[in-house]
Structure 1
């Protein structure tokens, strides 16, 4: 590798976005050194074969980056020099956890890393954050719009951002991402695909809560990875007074945060059409009135759906003789079943840094690619 290229430290390097970031850097030969830090061992991380080199054991350090005693072996390099970029893809990604879990595993992690990055004079620190922080509105949300976190995970991401802005000498920015999809996804879209498979098996139509025009904006994981690296390059060495820095960031109390999103303005209808095309399944919407009634008793609605779908999924797994079920399933998370538009405007990041998405829209091919990735791993019944 070229010694003139940056050395990159990725926290949460074996997570869904972190591994794709490592692969993006590896395939494009973007770094002189890459170190991946994660609490999970590679053998337990459900890594597909194409990540073998990008996430090799030579690049991996098992550590908890929220613990100060782990920081020397996370940050110290054999040549005595500092990393150039630190990109944090870590933190608690599960929903419906207690506040103290998010405080410890997400907020404290970010603050501990930010302080260490500033102390060592590292050129840039980029946080992988969430767009579930905006008050829902009819128009796409911009970075300066009102912040009303959707759930605890988002609340603690915002808290971390507030604390990071107080750290002197920290060259920081965050990317607020919508629903990220792509090969080996085990989150929101994996749930939708597994749910479609279950209802196909049961011979029933799949009915989704709320309406077809509810916004569920999207970003391909490969675009998320390229945006994170691009943000690290852009932020390196930049100060609030730098030419090309958005005016609002020149107020030190305003988060250095960019929205990143594809150009599809994805709605539930797009997802439904893609599922229908791939699975040959009728997907409809129960509408706002019935949804309002359901929302009053959402816990029971979700529990009932989960009881049926999880039982059917377990039977599918057994019938398909899948011996090592993957990290996917049809489990519905109440925290993500919101009658709120996930609708964001990504134009500031694109106009400021010159980055553009390569995967502009979520469609049936997106679904096919994800299903094929699950089949390759032996997860799909």
Structure 2
């Protein structure tokens, strides 16, 4: 049996720990003096992970150890778990292929095989708790708030393979595990949750266009701040039950309209929605529509990056086709709350989104030119506002 140190603080292994949620989890554990050690296992070293200064400082803390690991390789997974100082009490799996639009083979190897390699190794080491991060996209995409036992009908390829991981975990009867299904995760380091909406909002400020989106303001895209995801991991380490699934979603009942209102407030832009009829017409030729959308967004983004001398950044306004359909992400968090958990950030606010934007600007990864009304991209027809433009109704990044 794995053991904590003499003060009772656990030793924690974070798989995929330099990713978006991982870096925030490591920061939360260290800043709150919750652990005796954190080992981070990831294929991407901190120096190449686009960490901000706060996260860079955390990764140099004596409590944090980084081990470069290719978790698709079982031998590398075994090395990540092997530590002469002792076993790990809590293992959190945040490692997986998180890009959208990938092939079945890519997700099978980078999500299913990887996660099960880690889970089987955790069982060998008899860890006290193995936490697997899944996604709320596994639920049927209707407007009814999904509880953990609601209908399962994954609507992205990523969610389909996350659900397969959940299925296979149930066969590991000797593993003490639980599953978190977060809604759209946002916060410092976010690239795929609400960050694309901020980027696109800035583009429309830059081009002086009205931001027009597919579908309606009522399209649900429920959210949760990354800090509360980290807090939920720690809370369930202490209060979760073996084999259980927990939704992690704030109480805001976030919709596309609510997020658009916040983005428009930040950038002082106008916005509108195409509505169901026009959006359904676009869906008939969605591939072409999405290509046009991304082309219109990418050109001014590249122009602004060039003006600001930004040669390399993990950010871009690209939207994947499978996220542009009329799919609601609507979830209920009653089960988690019943364990005594409360959300520190119960709703998305302007300050939360500005924090993301300001952090990327400070890190030199977001072009300031997009925020200047004087620096306009000459390739845009500023009167043309009726073309179909779209936005994304999100997922977790691990």
Do these two structures clear the TM 0.5 threshold for a shared fold by scoring above it? yes
Q: Determine which of 25, 33, 46 is the counterpart of 1:42.
A: 46
Q: Determine which of 346, 354, 358 is the counterpart of 1:360.
A: 346
Does 2:322 correspond to 1:318?
A: no
Q: Determine which of 159, 176, 187 is the counterpart of 1:171.
A: 176
Shift of 1:373: 0.9
* Counterparts of residues 13-24 of structure 1 (less than 5 Å): 13-24=17-28
Does 2:238 correspond to 1:257?
A: no
Give the conservation status (yes or no) of the 8 Å contact 1:260–1:349: yes
* Counterparts of residues 121-270 of structure 1 (less than 5 Å): 121-235=126-240, 238=241, 256-270=244-258
Does 2:80 correspond to 1:74?
A: yes
2:357 & 2:254 partners in 1: Cα distance? 19
Counterpart for residue 309 of structure 1: 297
Deviations 1:320-355 (A, max 9, x none): 2224x321111111122230210000110110x211
Counterpart for residue 243 of structure 1: none
1:363 & 1:270 partners in 2: Cα distance? 10
2:280 counterpart SS class: helix
1:114 & 1:322 partners in 2: Cα distance? 40
1:178 & 1:71 partners in 2: Cα distance? 28
2:278 & 2:193 partners in 1: Cα distance? 23
Does 2:71 correspond to 1:65?
A: yes
Shift of 1:40: 0.7
Give the conservation status (yes or no) of the 8 Å contact 1:190–1:329: no
Shift of 1:284: 0.8
Cα pair distance change 1:301/1:188, threshold 3 Å: farther
1:7 & 1:193 partners in 2: Cα distance? 37
Give the conservation status (yes or no) of the 8 Å contact 1:87–1:232: no
Q: Determine which of 280, 284, 291 is the counterpart of 2:279.
A: 291
Shift of 1:2: 6.4
TM-score by length of 2: 0.88
1:299 & 1:72 partners in 2: Cα distance? 42
Give the conservation status (yes or no) of the 8 Å contact 2:143–2:220: no
Shift of 1:185: 1.1
1:234 & 1:380 partners in 2: Cα distance? 40
1:5 & 1:93 partners in 2: Cα distance? 31
1:377 & 1:72 partners in 2: Cα distance? 35
Does 2:343 correspond to 1:347?
A: no
- The runs of 5 or more residues in structure 1 that have no matched partner are 240-254
- The runs of 5 or more residues in structure 2 that have no matched partner are 368-398
2:263 & 2:50 partners in 1: Cα distance? 25
TM-score by length of 1: 0.91
Give the conservation status (yes or no) of the 8 Å contact 1:95–1:333: yes
1:262 counterpart SS class: coil
2:324 & 2:142 partners in 1: Cα distance? 17
2:137 counterpart SS class: coil
2:83 counterpart SS class: coil
Aligned residues: 361
* Counterparts of residues 94-133 of structure 1 (less than 5 Å): 94-133=99-138
Q: Determine which of 255, 260, 266 is the counterpart of 1:278.
A: 266
Does 2:318 correspond to 1:331?
A: yes
2:104 & 2:268 partners in 1: Cα distance? 41
Give the conservation status (yes or no) of the 8 Å contact 1:25–1:31: yes
1:12 & 1:184 partners in 2: Cα distance? 14
1:3 & 1:35 partners in 2: Cα distance? 18
RMSD of the TM alignment (CA)? 1.5
1:338 & 1:27 partners in 2: Cα distance? 40
Give the conservation status (yes or no) of the 8 Å contact 2:17–2:94: yes
2:91 counterpart SS class: strand
2:33 & 2:56 partners in 1: Cα distance? 15
1:204 counterpart SS class: coil
Larger RCO of the pair (alpha carbons < 8 Å, separation 6+): 2
Deviations 1:280-315 (A, max 9, x none): 000111111101111111111110011111011000
